[in-house]
Structure 1
Amino acid sequence: MSDVHPSAPSAAPARSDVRVRTLSPVRRASDRVQFRRGLTLTLMTLLMPGSAQLVMGNRRVGRIAVRVWLGCLAFGLLLVVLALTSRSTLFIFATNPRILTIGRVLLIAGALAWVLLLLDAWRLGRPLQMGRSHRLWMTGLNAALCFSTAGALFFAAHLVGVQNGLIGTVFAAQTSADPSEGRYNILLLGTDAGDDREGMRPDSLQVASVDAETGRTVLIGLPRNLEDVPFPEGSVMRREFPDGFDCDGCYLNAVNTWALDHRELFGDQPDPGIRATMEAVEEITGLTLSYHVIVDMAGFASLVDAVGGVEIDVPERLAKFGAEDSWRQEYIEPGRQRLDGDEALWFARSRVQNDDFSRMGRQKCLMSAMVAQLEPTTVLMNVQKIAESGKALLTTDIPAKDLNVLADLALKARAQDISSVSLTPPVIDTGNPDYPKVRRIVADGIDTAEGRAPRKHGLERASLPAVSAPESAAAPKDLRKVNQADDVAAAC
């Protein structure tokens, strides 16, 4: 009988049966060298695509890739030089539809090629010969670089496509206009066309007169209720109204509707309403208009929302609806604040508590604030929303081929004061306007903005009565004075 008890534990296995996997010092050193080589090839491809292939791969592919990359660097340097010396030439690349289309295709092709080169650099690094941890690091890094580089280029291609679509939709006109007496004079029409409105009667009529060299801008506000509007010799409207636009209810903002209702008088003119309105404004101001821009109020609200609102000093409590909507009345409270699109729209159009001339002043303040606050980074981060609102916002006869010049002038205008001239009472009686006097005021306003001495009769400005303040509050700022300000931003 055995002396071993049946319940005794079995003997422990010998230590020689436990296998411990270790790498020899030589193998560990080789793995580190392999990892550094793979990392170097990947970073070389990131900094100069094709360089890894020149060193270890297909040299023909490497040479092509490096040459393309050097060409891209040279083009980027050219853009930097143009930004410093000739921004209008730089804007050609940003506004020419053909160049934008080619650029979009090249960006997409570049994204795909760069990803392929990064994957090839990963292959050349022989990741399967690395240790497990190094292989995971290399694969993760390469995947992250593929995603980030391709993502950046695809996003850039998207921006170019959006820009091209906006230009093709809004700036489809073909006819260019030269500056008149050194200025671009652009008619800005603010409209609020809707199902409850017949035709298009502008709520806001302004001329932006921009110096073609410096960008110095004068905003000329035209009351929509100007009567007896004159028309130039030889025009259809002059033939119909030789003594001015003197029919019942015929104000300046009704010229467009009248012309559209009688379009048979204008032959093959594609847009007789706008043409007649531009002729009237030219005769009123003595300026030759270069272009017109129709700004839809609903589209404007979308634009303000797209850029994150606009900061405005609201001088007084403003009603958001008309007097007939008092049952649902809401208000914009006074004080400096950031307005969203709906609030900015009502800031520009409200006149329940005041008059058209206060509204004209608020519109100028809003335009000045938008010009000052619209930063390039804001535009870049919201380009899709801005493009969508822009298509709904703008109708214009500005051709795409002139955008480079006007965009450069817009940047110059941001750095300068914007002056204002408005044809408002008591300087101008809108019911019985003195149009020769109007033209003198416009000419003097431009002379003053340009630093030239006004003509001997001087610049005539409105002397407005003080606004009575409630007993419990200080007098609000009278924004009617903005209509005659040499510096709109300061007056606001």
Structure 2
Amino acid sequence: MSARPSPGPPHPQPRPSTARLASADRAARVRFRRAVALMLMTLLLPGSAQLVAGDKRVGRIALRVWMALLATGLLTAVAVLIHRELVFTLAANVALLGVLRLLLVALALGWAALFVDAWRLGQPLSLQQRQRLAAVGLNGFLSFAVAGTLLFGAHLVAVQRDFIVTMFGTGDATGAHDGRFNVLLLGGDSGAGRWGLRPDSMTIASIDARTGRTVLIGLPRNMENFPFAAGSVMDKQFPHGFDCTGCYLNGVSTWAGDHTDLFPHSKAPGVDATIMAIEGITDLKINYWAMVNLEGFKGLVDAVGGVTLNVRQPIPVGGLGSDVTGYLKPGVRKLNGFQTLWFARARDGSDDYSRMARQKCVMGAMLQQISPQTAVANFEKIAKASSEMISTDLPRSEVDNFVSLALKAKSEPIATVSLVPPMIDTANPDMKVIRRAVDQAIEQSEHPDSDKSSHGKRKLKRQVVTGGSIGSRDNGYAANQSQNLATSC
């Protein structure tokens, strides 16, 4: 009979050796580094992770798409460096913007999918728990960072496309007249239910089509007894000029709005009639117009972070039929939208012509101070504010040309001439004097070295300030008659 083993404790299991533990740990670290490397490869070269460790067909497609995009981007960058205006042409092409938006969305989704696949190729289940969590966190961060950036880019492209579609027209472009583009800028009366019907301010921006050098020609809203462009609808209605009782230049728009049957094919009878008047007064052919809602102007100033202006006297906030609630303090100050609006339109204690001078100072300051960097950094705010405050017939095909001219104008002095007292009697304006003044202002702007007179400098020596503007009604305001607006403000 065989002996039975005596009962006792079980034999202890053999413990893994230190060498085996170290080997397993090294293997885990290698797998973790491999997983991280696959994700970083996907960040730098989308598709490369699949090419070395996964579906090579997917990897080749992704890499080819990525290389094609890089080549397109590089060629575009070189073309923009050679021809700077190209960037504005591309930014105003509605069809291209639509394609670019879809491309960015597709790229975001495709890249995120490649990150997820790279995580799968890293065999996360074979990693230690701590390494697995780190891999998940890194993959999630990279996926959301890349996809989020691309989707935000798609959003900005959509904003730009909507801005172009909403803001600009689809009409035909018109060529320069005598080498200049003449754009009528109208400040719309923003009274309830009627903004745009009665222009509160009227300025022609006459722009040299080659250099961007600009002359601002201001017209007073209270001008009377003026002619209309020969052969126009308004000329036929008023062959002897706008000589009815109480008929002022800013009332032309209202008159046309009451007689829309005379403008059967017009989308903006009031603006068209006003253009007929201004062409008759100045003998300039207007290319395009832009109507600015003065209340909405606040949003644009706020969108660019304010504008710096020289407040020469306390400027009332309020008035214009309501109580004055405060004053803008004197000094060189950065004003927000609300303050800039009142700087431009305050009339309490001053006159229309002082206000016209201040408005030109605002125009000049915004042109000089809004840099491309500011525009890019605040693009979405600017686009929203602009679409709410501006109506224009400038066609989309001309946006790139005018942006390029605006950039050129930043480095050039802005000249001004205003058809106001003491040069012009607004009740009985002399058309010959007006047209001669306009022609001289444009000639001096195009050939600044040919005129050696001290006319502009003489105005700057005045110490009198009226309504916040250098000068007076009887002697003229410097900003209304200047060869360099910046020095007159």
1: CA distance between counterparts of 2:234 and 2:469?
42
Instruction: Give 2:8's aligned residue.
Output: none
1: CA distance between counterparts of 2:78 and 2:428?
55
1: CA distance between counterparts of 2:236 and 2:316?
43
What is the deviation of 1:116?
A: 0.6
1:227–1:252 contact (8 Å) kept in structure 2: yes
2: CA distance between counterparts of 1:339 and 1:460?
27
What is the deviation of 1:261?
A: 1.4
Aligned pairs for 1:362-401 within 5 A: 362-401=358-397
Residue 314 in structure 1 maps to residue 317 in structure 2: no
1: CA distance between counterparts of 2:464 and 2:480?
19
Q: Secondary structure at the match of 1:311?
A: strand
CA deviation string 1:183-228 (max 9, x = no partner): 1110000012312869722111011111222222221111112221
2: CA distance between counterparts of 1:51 and 1:209?
56
Instruction: Give 2:234's aligned residue.
Output: 237
CA deviation string 1:111-146 (max 9, x = no partner): 000101111112212222223332222221111111
Instruction: Give 1:171's aligned residue.
Output: 168
2: CA distance between counterparts of 1:440 and 1:291?
23
TM-score (ref. length: structure 2): 0.89
Mean alpha-carbon deviation: is it higher for 154-163 or for 216-225?
216-225
Instruction: Give 2:446's aligned residue.
Output: 450
The partner residue of 2:283 within 278, 282, 286 is: 286
Residue 37 in structure 1 maps to residue 37 in structure 2: no
TM-score (ref. length: structure 1): 0.88
What is the one-letter code of the residue matched to 1:224? Answer: R
What is the one-letter code of the residue matched to 2:258? Answer: D
What is the deviation of 1:380?
A: 3.6
Residue 89 in structure 1 maps to residue 86 in structure 2: yes
215 and 316 in structure 1: CA distance in 2 versus 1, 3 angstrom threshold:
same
Aligned pairs for 1:252-267 within 5 A: 252-267=249-264
Mean alpha-carbon deviation: is it higher for 416-425 or for 477-486?
477-486
2: CA distance between counterparts of 1:152 and 1:135?
26
The partner residue of 1:155 within 149, 152, 155 is: 152
What is the one-letter code of the residue matched to 1:379? Answer: A
What is the one-letter code of the residue matched to 1:167? Answer: I
1: CA distance between counterparts of 2:403 and 2:469?
36
469 and 181 in structure 1: CA distance in 2 versus 1, 3 angstrom threshold:
closer
2:456–2:483 contact (8 Å) kept in structure 1: no
2: CA distance between counterparts of 1:355 and 1:465?
21
What is the deviation of 1:51?
A: 1.4
1:424–1:462 contact (8 Å) kept in structure 2: no
What is the deviation of 1:372?
A: 2.3
Mean alpha-carbon deviation: is it higher for 141-150 or for 89-98?
89-98
Instruction: Give 2:7's aligned residue.
Output: none
Q: Pairwise CA RMSD of aligned residues?
A: 3.0
Instruction: Give 1:358's aligned residue.
Output: 354
Instruction: Give 2:330's aligned residue.
Output: 334
Mean alpha-carbon deviation: is it higher for 142-151 or for 132-141?
132-141
2: CA distance between counterparts of 1:21 and 1:149?
45
2:456–2:482 contact (8 Å) kept in structure 1: no
2: CA distance between counterparts of 1:259 and 1:273?
5
1:426–1:462 contact (8 Å) kept in structure 2: no
2: CA distance between counterparts of 1:237 and 1:343?
38
2:470–2:479 contact (8 Å) kept in structure 1: no
What is the deviation of 1:452?
A: 5.7
96 and 247 in structure 1: CA distance in 2 versus 1, 3 angstrom threshold:
same
145 and 199 in structure 1: CA distance in 2 versus 1, 3 angstrom threshold:
closer
Instruction: Give 2:428's aligned residue.
Output: 432
1:447–1:453 contact (8 Å) kept in structure 2: no
146 and 94 in structure 1: CA distance in 2 versus 1, 3 angstrom threshold:
same
Q: Secondary structure at the match of 2:338?
A: helix
Q: Secondary structure at the match of 1:292?
A: strand
1: CA distance between counterparts of 2:462 and 2:456?
19
Calculate percent identity across the aligned residue pairs.
46
Q: Secondary structure at the match of 2:78?
A: helix
1:316–1:333 contact (8 Å) kept in structure 2: yes
Instruction: Give 1:6's aligned residue.
Output: none
Residue 72 in structure 1 maps to residue 69 in structure 2: yes
Q: Secondary structure at the match of 2:27?
A: helix
Structure 1 consecutive aligned stretches of length 4 or more whose deviation exceeds 4 Å: 19-23, 196-199, 452-470, 475-479
1: CA distance between counterparts of 2:442 and 2:433?
14
Instruction: Give 1:8's aligned residue.
Output: none
85 and 469 in structure 1: CA distance in 2 versus 1, 3 angstrom threshold:
closer
Q: Which runs of 5+ in 2 are unaligned?
A: 1-11
What is the deviation of 1:382?
A: 3.4
1:427–1:462 contact (8 Å) kept in structure 2: no
Residue 146 in structure 1 maps to residue 143 in structure 2: yes
Instruction: Give 2:24's aligned residue.
Output: 27
Mean alpha-carbon deviation: is it higher for 110-119 or for 239-248?
239-248
Residue 247 in structure 1 maps to residue 244 in structure 2: yes
What is the deviation of 1:271?
A: 2.5
What is the deviation of 1:319?
A: 0.6
CA deviation string 1:374-421 (max 9, x = no partner): 234433443333233222211111111211211221222223222222
1:444–1:459 contact (8 Å) kept in structure 2: no
Mean alpha-carbon deviation: is it higher for 458-467 or for 304-313?
458-467
What is the deviation of 1:478?
A: 4.3
Instruction: Give 2:6's aligned residue.
Output: none
What is the one-letter code of the residue matched to 1:249? Answer: G
Instruction: Give 1:345's aligned residue.
Output: 341
1:425–1:462 contact (8 Å) kept in structure 2: no
